[in-house]
Amino acid sequence: MPEAVVVGREVWKVYGSGDTAVPALRGINVEIFQGEILAVMGPSGCGKTTFLNCFSGLDDITRGQVTVEGTDIHGMPDAKKSEYRARRTGFVFQSYNLLPILSAVENVEMPLLIAGRSAKEARAESRSILTQMGLGDRLTHRPSELSGGQQQRVSLARALVGHPAIVWADEPTGNLDAEGSHQVTELLRELNRQYHQTMVVVTHDAEVAAACDRTLRMRDGLFVS
C-alpha cells in the first residue's frame, strides 16, 4: 500500500461570516498517495479550486487539518509555508500565470532560484526540461510569443523543474484545444512515470480524468465518490 502524502481531516473552508458565510469545503476527508495522479472532478462552484488551494497551502482553512508529508501545513508561519511551496510543491494553472516579463527559460528557472540554487544550475536544468518538453527552440521567447499549448508546457516545466513531491494542477487543459489538451495530458502522465511525483489535477475534462490513476468527484464542498 503506497504511503499517503497528503491527508485531510474534517477540512472546512468558509468564505465570509455570519449571514453571508458560504461554506466551500464542508468537512472533507481525503488521502492522496505517493506517486499517484489524482483527478478531482465536479461541476463549477463545487469547491474544486478551493480544495486545491487549501490542500496545497495557498489558502488557509477554516477548520480541520491538512498534513502534507506528515507536516500540518496550516500550522506553519507564512515564511515556512513559502519555503515549503518552493521546495516541495509545483503548480500548474488554467491561465498559465507565466511572468510576462521573463522568457520561457527564465520563468522555469524562477522556482529553482527561489529554492536557493545557483543561477548556472538553474539555467541548465531549465533548458534541459524545456528541451525535453519540445520547447528547445523557444527558450528565450516571452509568453506573449508562445501559443497557449506552449505556454502551458512552460508552466508544467516550471512546476516540475524542482522535482517537487506534489504537483497541483488547476484545470491545466482548460484553455487548450483538443490537441493541446491531449499533449498536456500525455506529458503529465509521462513526467509522472519518469519522476514518480504525486499529481493532483482539478479538471472537468473527462479525458484528462480518464488518464489519471484515480478520480474523486466533488459536489457542494464534499467528495461524493
Partner 1 sequence: MALNPIVGLLVLILVFVAVVTVVLAARHRLAFRIAIRNVRRGRARTALLIAGLLVGTTIVSGSLVVGDTVQTLTYHYVYLGAGYVDESISATSESGGAAYYPYSVYGEVVNLTAGSPQIAGITPMVVDAASVYDRTTGIPETDLNLIGVNGNQSSHLGSFIADNGSSIAGPSPGHVFLDDQAASALNATAGDSVIVYGVAAVPLVVQAVVQENVRGAFITAGLTPGNVFVTLSTAQGLENQSGKINYIAVTNTGSQVAGAASSSSVSAYLNTTLAGVLSTYGLSVKTPLQTALEQETTASQSIETLFLVLGLFSIVAGAMLIIGIFVMLAEERKGEMGMLRAIGMRRRELVYSYYFEGVVYSTGSALAGTFVGAGVGYVLIYLVGFLLRGEGIPQSALLQSFTVTDQSLVIAYVVGFLLTLVTVVVACRRASRLNIVRAIRDVPEPRPPVRTYTFLAYLGAAGVLLGLLLLATTLRGTGNESFPLLGGALAILGCGLIAARFVKNRYAFTATGLALSVWAGYEPLHTYLFGTSHSTTLFILFVVGILLVGGVLMVVLFNADALVQALRRLLGSRADSNPVVRIGLDYPTRQPGRTAVGLTIFALVVFTMIATAAAGSTVEGSLNDAVNAQAGGYSFFGVSQVPLPHLWSEISSNQTLAPLFENAAPLVAGAVRVAVPGYSSTQPYSDSIYAPPANATGPSSFLATNQFPFLSTLNGMSGSAAFEELAADRSVAIVDGSYSQVSNAFSTTTSSHPTLTVGTQIRLTTPAGTRATNVTVIGILTESIVGGVWVNPATASAMGYDNTSAYFLTVAPGISTSFAAQEAKKAFFPAGLVLFDLRGLLAQSISTTEGFIGILEVFVGLGLAVGIAAMGIFALRAVAERRREIGMLRATGFTRGMVLRSLVLEYSFVTLAGIAIGVGLGLLVIYNLSTGPSAASEGVQVFVAPWVTVIEVAVLAYLLVLAAIAAPSLRAARLPPAEAIRTSE
Catalog residues that contact partner 1 under the rule CB under 8 A: 49, 53, 56, 58-60, 78-79, 82-83, 85-87, 89, 91, 93, 95, 97-102, 106, 110-111, 113-120, 122, 144, 158
Q: Which is nearer to partner 1, 117 or 189 (CB)?
A: 117
User: What is the closest distance, in whole angstroms, from the C-beta atom of residue 87 to partner 1 in the complex?
Assistant: 7
User: What is the closest distance, in whole angstroms, from the C-beta atom of residue 213 to partner 1 in the complex?
Assistant: 24
Q: Which is nearer to partner 1, 115 or 222 (CB)?
A: 115
User: What is the closest distance, in whole angstroms, from the C-beta atom of residue 100 to partner 1 in the complex?
Assistant: 7
Residue 162 is placed in which grid cell? 524542482
Q: Which of 176, 41, 162 is nearest to 95 (CA)?
A: 176
User: What is the closest distance, in whole angstroms, from the C-beta atom of residue 9 to partner 1 in the complex?
Assistant: 20
SS3 151: helix
Per-residue b or e along 178-195, where b marks 16 or more CB atoms closer than 10 Å to that residue's CB: eebbbbbbebbeebbeee
Q: Enumerate residues 6+ apart whose C-beta is below 8 A from 107.
A: 98, 99, 143, 154, 158
Q: Enumerate residues 6+ apart whose C-beta is below 8 A from 87.
A: 115, 162, 164
Q: Which is nearer to partner 1, 13 or 211 (CB)?
A: 13
User: What is the closest distance, in whole angstroms, from the C-beta atom of residue 37 to partner 1 in the complex?
Assistant: 20
Q: Which is nearer to partner 1, 49 or 198 (CB)?
A: 49
Q: Enumerate residues 6+ apart whose C-beta is below 8 A from 71.
A: 84
Pairing type for strands 198-202 and 166-170 reads: parallel
Q: Which is nearer to partner 1, 147 or 186 (CB)?
A: 147
